[in-house]
């Protein structure tokens, strides 16, 4: 990411101090107070080398470095060299670049040739798409878009929960009550079947054993059970795909747990050949005492494999298939132990790429009680939540702008955007409460607020009518908010990088809120389109740039940016 100011500082400072350029860049700070400049270089670590006090070093260096045409002032304060960027130059560079590159602004080739599989969403077959899988879905999707922005090739993998003992339960339930419950082959009916099993098993625990045997039969290839399993899988998958369509999310691969069925034996063999397994309570396990972890279960005593066995196999498969640069799993933090075990076992197998496997974990979302949809047990359906949000957004739009064209389409974009943004606005490890009033508040730190600001930026451009050139007299953009805005826009490429460094879309969400609120303050304080032609032209360049960046930022979070609202 080529910020000419940083480049220049790095070049000069490393020449004067003999520090390697990367180190200068790492040390460089953005001061919290603009009185201390736009960038500051701390000289404390140089004291030893130069055998001088840091403030002396800073003073000497500051007097030796010329301001050139990029900086308006360079001076030392304490042990820092403070660099003041020339604001006209800054505006010219940043706005010029945004208008030239449009939605490509912030893109980078850094990821070219590197592949990153992202395992996300991954719901379980035979259950409806509940709200419980939304956080993984939206974080995974946004990370995918962000990595793609930097030219990584991303493989979105849906690791469906489509294998395991629960299918034994379903088969039992189907054979006993299928006729009365499964009428239209819907996921809801499948779920009822599953619930029925649990109710009955409480009264009659022998059913559990029956289920275990049915799953064993399925794993051994029994034809009838196999067909049933395929039927259940198809019903669920059709439903999931319908939901993904609403969210406009696509996966490169639906390789669920069952996908690894034929490769699992090989994993087990390899583990045994490498002498990593032992028998414990009749089960095959990998002992992980030396890592302070409980043993990783590979095979139960009835020979059936486990969630972990399939994840170990999947990791090996992904490495062979994609030769990944990083391998991500966007899964809740309740599975932290599972992934620690899986990665540790893979490492013990001698695969050093285990270090590039990353559990991108996240906390809980608590929903307002009243939306607990009682009609399907205690699962809150994602679709119900989206529908409610679209409805509420529709009502607000009806109040605010009854004349709006395509009200229905906009309500959809705003309603879905509100939910998605609420899930991306917090750091992923934070638990949070989902509260409707907050989520849809057009004035809060919400999706609708960002979309509304975007629509405002669009309508200004419409009102201006003239074509927005990429040249103007930038010295006319000298107001406090104008400069803040330009600096925020300048920070967009680094924001993307920071979001990816921490696998944290919230970094981008927070950035967009800052961008929008800075613009809105500006908008409240200043009339943008006036009689002063030159000045209006410069301001419109800023408006257009802010709109381009806001729109692209929303896209990277998975939100639409309607032009009117
Ligand atoms: N289906 C699992 C669940 O709902 C998530 C799967 C995550 N991915 C993985 N490779 N284990 O809890």
Q: What is the average pLDDT across 500-512?
A: 98
Ligand 1 site, residue 448, Cβ cutoff 6 A: no
Which residues in 39-56 are b (16+ Cβ under 10 Å) and which e?
Answer: bbbebeebeeeeeeebbe
Instruction: Tell me the CA–centroid distance for residue 159 and ligand 1, in Å.
Output: 6
Instruction: Tell me the CA–centroid distance for residue 311 and ligand 1, in Å.
Output: 9
Instruction: Tell me the CA–centroid distance for residue 139 and ligand 1, in Å.
Output: 14
Please state the atom number of ligand 1 nearest to the C-alpha of residue 160: 1
Distance CA 272, CA 278 (A): 8
pLDDT band at 368 (very low <50, low <70, confident <90, very high): confident
Ligand 1 site, residue 259, Cβ cutoff 6 A: no
Ligand 1 site, residue 159, Cβ cutoff 6 A: yes
How do residues 6-52 score in pLDDT, each as one tens digit? 999 999 999 999 999 999 998 999 898 889 999 999 999 999 999 99
Q: Which two tokens stand for residue 138?
A: 């939206």
Q: What is the average pLDDT across 452-479?
A: 93
pLDDT band at 378 (very low <50, low <70, confident <90, very high): low
Longest dimension (CA), the chain: 87
Distance CA 410, CA 400 (A): 13
Counted residue by residue, the chain has a size of: 565
| Nearest-CA residue for atom 3 of ligand 1 | 123
How do residues 397-446 score in pLDDT, each as one tens digit? 999 999 999 999 999 999 999 999 999 999 999 999 999 999 999 999 99
Instruction: Tell me the CA–centroid distance for residue 540 and ligand 1, in Å.
Output: 48
pLDDT band at 372 (very low <50, low <70, confident <90, very high): very low
Decide if pLDDT at 1 tops 60: no
Q: Which CATH topology does 4-85 take? A: Gyrase A; domain 2 (3.30.1360)
pLDDT band at 345 (very low <50, low <70, confident <90, very high): very high
Please state the atom number of ligand 1 nearest to the C-alpha of residue 132: 4
How do residues 100-113 score in pLDDT, each as one tens digit? 999 999 999 999 99
pLDDT band at 303 (very low <50, low <70, confident <90, very high): confident
| Nearest-CA residue for atom 1 of ligand 1 | 161
Q: What is the pLDDT of residue 305?
A: 87
What sign results for the dihedral spanned by CA atoms 209, 210, 216, 218?
A: negative
Distances (CA, A) of 397 to 31, 226, 415, 559: 41, 50, 11, 17
Please state the atom number of ligand 1 nearest to the C-alpha of residue 307: 11
Ligand 1 site, residue 119, Cβ cutoff 6 A: yes
| Nearest-CA residue for atom 4 of ligand 1 | 123
Provide the percentage of residues in the chain whose pLDDT is more than 70: 98
Decide if pLDDT at 286 tops 50: yes
Sequence spans of domains, the chain: 4-85, 382-557
Q: What is the average pLDDT across 264-268?
A: 96
Contact, 214 vs 225, CB < 8 A? yes
pLDDT, averaged across the chain = 94
Q: Which CATH topology does 382-557 take? A: Isoleucyl-tRNA Synthetase; Domain 1 (1.10.730)
Q: What is the pLDDT of residue 376?
A: 44
Ligand 1 site, residue 357, Cβ cutoff 6 A: no
Question: To test the ligand 1 pocket, which listed residue (122, 133, 164, 364) has its Cβ within 8 A of the most ligand atoms?
Answer: 122
Instruction: Tell me the CA–centroid distance for residue 162 and ligand 1, in Å.
Output: 10
Decide if pLDDT at 196 tops 60: yes
Ligand 1 site, residue 328, Cβ cutoff 6 A: no
How do residues 56-111 score in pLDDT, each as one tens digit? 999 999 999 999 999 999 999 999 999 999 999 999 999 999 999 999 999 999 99
Q: What is the pLDDT of residue 363?
A: 96
Ligand 1 site, residue 124, Cβ cutoff 6 A: yes
């Amino acid at each position: 990411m080529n910020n000419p100011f940083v480049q220049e500082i790095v070049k000069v400072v490393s020449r004067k101090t003999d520090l390697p350029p990367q180190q200068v860049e790492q040390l460089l700070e953005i001061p919290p107070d603009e009185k201390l400049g736009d960038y500051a270089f701390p000289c404390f670590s140089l004291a030893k080398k130069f055998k001088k006090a840091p403030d002396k070093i800073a003073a000497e260096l500051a007097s030796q470095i010329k301001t050139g045409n990029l900086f308006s002032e360079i001076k030392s304060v304490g042990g820092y060299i403070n660099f003041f960027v020339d604001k006209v130059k800054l505006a010219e560079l940043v706005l010029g670049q945004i208008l030239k590159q449009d939605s490509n602004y912030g893109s980078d080739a850094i990821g070219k040739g590197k592949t990153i599989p992202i395992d996300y969403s991954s719901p379980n077959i035979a259950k409806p798409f509940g709200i419980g899988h939304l956080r993984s879905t939206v974080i995974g999707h946004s990370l995918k878009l962000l990595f793609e922005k930097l030219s990584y090739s991303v493989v979105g993998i849906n690791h469906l929960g489509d294998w395991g003992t629960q299918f034994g339960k379903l088969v039992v339930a189907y054979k006993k009550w299928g006729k009365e419950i499964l009428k239209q082959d819907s996921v809801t009916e499948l779920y009822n079947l599953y619930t029925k099993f649990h109710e009955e098993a409480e009264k009659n625990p022998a059913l559990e054993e029956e289920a275990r045997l049915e799953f064993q039969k399925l794993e051994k290839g029994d034809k009838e059970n196999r067909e049933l399993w395929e039927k259940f899988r198809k019903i669920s998958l059709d439903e999931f795909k319908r939901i993904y369509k609403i969210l406009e999310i696509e996966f490169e691969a639906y390789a669920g747990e069952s996908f690894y069925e034929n490769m699992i034996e090989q994993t087990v063999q390899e583990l045994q050949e490498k002498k990593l397994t032992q028998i414990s309570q009749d089960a095959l396990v990998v002992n992980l005492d030396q890592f302070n972890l409980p043993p990783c279960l590979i095979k139960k005593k009835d020979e059936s494999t486990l969630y972990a066995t399939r994840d170990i196999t999947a990791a090996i498969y992904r490495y062979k298939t994609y030769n990944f640069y990083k391998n991500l799993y966007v899964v809740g933090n309740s599975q932290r132990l599972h992934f620690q075990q899986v990665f540790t076992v893979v490492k013990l197998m001698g695969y050093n790429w285990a270090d590039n496997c990353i559990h991108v974990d996240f906390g809980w979302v608590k929903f307002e009680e009243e939306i607990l949809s009682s009609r399907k047990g205690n699962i809150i359906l994602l679709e119900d939540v989206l529908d409610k949000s679209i409805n509420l957004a529709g009502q607000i739009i009806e109040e605010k702008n009854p004349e709006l064209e395509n009200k229905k389409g906009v309500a959809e974009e705003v309603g879905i955007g509100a939910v998605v943004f609420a899930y991306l606005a917090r750091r992923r490890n934070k638990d949070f409460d989902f509260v409707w009033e907050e989520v849809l508040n057009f004035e809060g730190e919400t999706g609708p607020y960002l979309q509304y600001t975007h629509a405002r930026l669009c309508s200004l451009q419409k009102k201006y009518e003239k074509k927005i050139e990429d040249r103007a007299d930038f010295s006319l953009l000298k107001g406090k908010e104008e400069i803040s805005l330009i600096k925020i826009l300048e920070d967009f490429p680094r924001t993307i990088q920071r979001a990816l460094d921490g696998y944290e879309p919230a970094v981008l969400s927070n950035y967009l809120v800052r961008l929008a609120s800075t613009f809105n303050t500006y908008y409240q304080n200043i009339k943008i389109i006036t009689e002063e032609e030159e000045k209006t032209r410069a301001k419109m360049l800023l408006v257009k740039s802010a709109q381009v960046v806001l729109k692209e930022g929303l896209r990277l979070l998975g939100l639409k940016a309607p032009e009117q609202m």
